[in-house]
Amino acid sequence: MKKDGIQNESILRLMGSIGHTDRFVVCDVGLPVPKGVEKIDMAVVKGIPTFMQVLKPLAEEMVFEKLILAKEILDGNPDIYEGIKSLCGDIPIEFVTHEEFKKLTADAKAIIRTGEVTPYANVIIQAGVNF
């Protein structure tokens, strides 16, 4: 049994399969999941777990090369945006429209759905390498 860190079997499997430049999504409870993309559903009830509760351990255990956010987050959810920036530091952020964001999720290896119920609490994460 693992001592610490992420314990969710589906997320551990995803982490082991991600290669450089592969993408996955962490999202709020309302983001649609395209057909053919694996959904890892963490939602228990509205608000549990939060977006940041799921993103934080991923950022601690994985190398993020780039983040993609819907530009609507800047006005529609500045608290989550500031949380992402604080957690992820200097990782480059690309902004697209929310409609374009939803289209880009079709190429994700998986979508991790949280219980978050605030708007635009979604991020596409592009994996980096640790060397």
**For the chain, what is the radius of gyration of the CA atoms?**
14
Q: Where are the beta strands (DSSP E) in 1-131?
A: 23-27, 38-41, 64-70, 93-96, 110-113, 123-127
Site of tokens 């001592």? 3
- Could you tell me where the DSSP H helices lie in 77-127? 78-88, 98-104
User: Would you name the residues annotated as active-site residues?
Assistant: 20
